Every structure is written in structure tokens, then in C-alpha cells.
Amino acid sequence: QSGMFTYDPGFTSTASCDSGLTFIDGEEGVLLHRGYPIGQLAEDSSFMEVSYLLLNGELPNKTELDDFEFTITRHTMLHDQLRQFYQGFRRDAHPMAIMCGVVGALSAFYHDSTDISDPDHRKISSHRLIAKMPTIAAAAYKYSIGQPMMQPDNSLSYTGNFLRMTFGVPAEEYEVIPAVEKAMDRIFILHADHEQNASTSTVRLAGSSGANPFACIAAGIACLWGPAHGGANEAALNMLREIGTPDRIPEYIARAKNKDDPFRLMGFGHRVYKNYDPRATVMQKTVREVFDALKVTDPVFDVALQLEEMALNDPYFVDKKLFPNVDFYSGVILSAIGFPTEMFTALFALARTVGWVAQWNEMISDPGQRIGRPRQLYTGPAQRDYVPIGQR
């Protein structure tokens, strides 16, 4: 149900819930996680530390972080029967289709942690989801290219483990490149949580009925897949590649402004940000760092930079307050690291799992929590009497 409430900085809004995890000021382009600015977390923290912060409300000390990472690391393996589950998919299944299916199937595996009234059950389900998403995502990629699925290596970091499971092969040692690990970890931080976006609201609504937590996260994955939401990172890079060269940018800007054309600039605009998405700022900087570390470049980055420049100087985009969002540059980095575009949204889902889980925990552990029940404005016919078929 929606409610009216006033909160700092002194403006009122209709809202679906109270939450203390993430604050966004769309006009100012501010994003805070438990009060900490995203730019500082992206620069100085780690995805595991931000995960702890979102789940527990405070940054961990060294012991707390070590204990958390130890726990997460020891839940990274997938049950062997679950690995068989992949065999049912076509090799060319989209990784998000596989993620939906496999995460949903977790609800059929862990009967020992789905009593949501039990805080310990809620905790272990949360840790299992955060821990297994890299293994599930990497396995989806391996399955699609016909390579053997890699087992986790607990001697690596959360993100290093994911890179090795994705790009490593049993026949060779895999060397995690520190700059790539740092960039990947930062990308996970930038995607961790984002207030009541469509997929998080989906998880909360599904969870409000007391449904199995694994099934609720599968519902969030399904919602994130859409090109208007998490699917935009894949669509944005495909768009930049289709534009190909800067001289073709005006044609696409014209299409985006044409009301009769359904085309929109992917990675641009946002329901809440009416200023530059602070995550896009960090993302653009990270492109340069990854290019330098890998000694690569990609002409698509120049297209992205010039497209941004032209759009931000075009009255249509200025008047409608349309700026690059988190999805505009992320694909350039992910492509440089070696991911195919089909994996981009799966990586978003991997990172957003901690946000979904933290928001689910916040909702389900509220003693006043009630089932979500949005209402509608009825636009159908007024009441009328049934007419037997012979008289129609």
C-alpha cells in the first residue's frame, strides 16, 4: 500500500515502504548506502565490505569482515544435482533465463533454511544466495560455450573467484589480474543496491506474502532482465556498436527524440535521477583504468563519450533531464574484460543480489510487516447484467 510521509531534506513523496538501506536524491545525483556516498565506497571499499554494510547497517571491523568473507566463501559451491539442472537448457539459452531457473530451483534444495520466521534461516539463505550467485553466473557462461564448469577456489577473493570460474579452465592456472579484479569488484559495488527500483520492489512484494526467499530472488532476476531496467547494459553496448562511428551519432539522437520512433538511447535517462547518475561517473573513470591495465582500447568508448557530449548539449535531453545512467559505460568495461554482452545483465543480477537480500531481510524482519497489496484506478465498464449467449 502506498503512504505519504515527509523525510529529509524536507520534501514529501508517495512511497511503497520505509527503508534505511539506500538514499537517492535524484535532483542532486546523490546515492548513499547506509549514509556512505557511493563514490567513496567505490573508491575505498570492497564488494564484500559493502555487502556487510547493506546487510548489517555498519561498516565491519577487520574481524567482522574476515568472518563474513569466511562464511560467504564456504557457501560458494553448487550442489552437484543443481549442476545437472543446467543440462536441461539449450546451449544458446540467455544467461538470465538460466539464472532465473537455477536460482528458483534453489528453493527446491534448501528446505533447512526457508522458515522465514527463523532469523537463522533468513541469515543462512541470505549468505547462500550472495555466495552462490558468482558460481551460478559463471556456470551459465561455461555452459553456453561448452566448457567444464569450474569449482570455486576458496583461496581467492569473492571477485577473483568469480573471474577464475568464468575465464579459467581446468587445464591451466588462471592468473587474476589485480586491476581487473579491482574494476570488477567496483562494478559489483556500483550495482549492489538502488532503493526501490523495479526488481527490488518485485522481491519485496513477492517476499511480503512469506514466499520462499530463493523464489523471491528468482522473481527479482526476471524483472531485472527487461531492457528498460538491468537489460539496458546489454542493449547500450549493442546500440553503441550499431552506431559504430561518431558521424552516425546525430542519426540516433534524432531517432531518440522522435516520438513516433520507439527507439530510446539505452543507458540514458532514469526514473529518479534528473542529474548525472553518480555511478556513471565512476564507471566512465573505470573504463580508462581497465583500458590502461589491459593495454586495450575500443572505438566504442569514443562513440560513447561523443554521444554523451552531444546529448548533454541537446535541448531535448537537457529539458527532459536525461543523463547517462549506470548502464551507459558498464558494457564497455565488461566487454574489455572479456564478457559477451549476453552476460552483462547476469553480472548486474549477481551484484544486485545483496541489495535484494538486504531489502528482503529489512522487510521480512519488520514486526509490522504486512502483505503488499497495490491498488488501482479502475478504468473498465460500470456494473452491468449478464446477457445469455443467444441474445448477444
Among 74, 248, 271, 288, indicate the residue that binds ligand SDX (CB under 6 A).
271
269 is an interface residue for ligand SDX by CB under 6 A: yes
Q: Does the protein bind ligand SDX through residue 288 (CB under 6 A)?
A: no
Least distance in angstroms from the C-beta of 201 to ligand SDX: 9
Residues 6 or more apart in contact with residue 54 via CB below 8 angstroms: 21, 22, 33, 34, 192, 193, 354, 355, 358
Q: Write out the binding residues for ligand SDX, residues 184-223 only, by CB under 6 A.
A: 194, 197
Please select the residue that binds ligand SDX; options are 75, 83, 241, 264, rule is CB under 6 A.
Answer: 264
Q: Which H/E stretch holds residue 316?
A: helix 315-319
* 256 is an interface residue for ligand SDX by CB under 6 A: yes
Query: If we measure between CA atoms, which residue out of 183, 155, 178, 139 comes closest to residue 47?
Result: 183
Closest CB to ligand SDX among 134 and 269? 269
Inter-residue contact 100 to 221 (CB < 8 Å): yes
Cα(385)–Cα(47) distance, integer angstroms = 60
Q: Which stretch binds ligand SDX (CB under 6 A): 4-12, 157-165, 177-185, 226-234?
A: 226-234
Q: Using the rule CB under 6 A, is 285 a contact of ligand SDX?
A: no
**Which three-class secondary structure state does DSSP give residue 13?**
strand
Q: Does 251 bind ligand SDX (CB under 6 A)?
A: no
| Rounded CA separation 239/283 (Å) | 18
List all residues 6 or more positions away from 77 whose beta carbon is below 8 Å from its beta carbon: 132, 135, 151, 152
Contact stretch for ligand SDX (CB under 6 A) within 15-23, 57-65, 71-79, 268-276: 268-276
Q: Which 302-331 positions form the footprint of ligand SDX (CB under 6 A)?
A: 320, 322, 325-327
**Residue closer to ligand SDX, measured from CB, 159 or 325:** 325
Q: Minimum distance between the CB of residue 337 and ligand SDX, rounded to whole angstroms?
A: 20
Q: Does 253 bind ligand SDX (CB under 6 A)?
A: no
Residue 338, CA distances (Å) to 214, 343, 378 in order: 29, 10, 49
Q: Output the residue with the shortest Cβ distance to ligand SDX.
A: 269
- Which residues are catalytically annotated? 270, 327
Is residue 288 within 8 Å of 294, Cβ to Cβ? no
* Separation of CA 76 from chain center: 19
Binding-site member from 101, 152, 220, 267 for ligand SDX (CB under 6 A): 267
Task: Name the residue nearer to ligand SDX (CB basis): 86 or 268.
Answer: 268
- Please name the helix (run of DSSP H) or strand (run of DSSP E) that holds residue 25, with its range, or none: strand 22-25
- Which residues of the shown chain bind ligand SDX in the complex (CB under 6 A)? 194, 197, 228-229, 232, 256, 264-272, 320, 322, 325-327
